Every structure is written in structure tokens, then in C-alpha cells.
């Protein structure tokens, strides 16, 4: 195939793509930040408990 045919097909496929709105991107960003913060807090708590348990066992 020719390069121009590939470029034309790529443009056709790109015109079918539905890009998210600014509000959707902002909402997804906030959701990701919240989930990461919650998981980080949970892992920090588990780490703190495990280190306390190991300190108590080992003296």
C-alpha cells in the first residue's frame, strides 16, 4: 500500500475517536488521586502495624 493511503486511513479512524471533555478528564484525575491516596494510606497503616508487630516479637 502507499503511504498516502495509510495516512488517509489513519485520518478516517482518528475522526471516529471520541475524545473526553475537559470535565471528564478533571473528574477522572480527581478519582485517580483519591484512590491512590486511600491505597497509600492503607499500605502505610499495614506497614506500621507489621513493623510494630516485628519490633514486639524481636524485642
pLDDT of 25: 97
Report how far residue 43's alpha carbon sits from residue 15's, in angstroms, rounded to the nearest whole number.
43
pLDDT of 1: 64
pLDDT of 59: 80
pLDDT of 44: 98
Q: Do residues 20 and 28 make contact, with C-beta atoms less than 8 angstroms apart? A: yes
pLDDT in tens, 3-58: 999 999 999 999 999 999 999 999 999 999 999 999 999 999 999 999 999 999 99
Largest CA distance in the chain: 73
Amino acid at each position: 500500500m502507499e503511504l498516502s493511503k495509510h495516512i488517509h486511513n489513519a485520518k478516517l479512524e482518528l475522526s471516529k475517536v471520541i475524545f473526553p471533555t475537559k470535565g471528564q478528564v478533571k473528574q477522572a484525575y480527581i478519582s485517580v488521586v483519591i484512590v491512590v491516596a486511600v491505597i497509600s494510606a492503607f499500605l502505610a497503616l499495614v506497614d506500621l502495624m507489621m513493623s510494630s508487630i516485628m519490633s514486639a516479637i524481636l524485642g
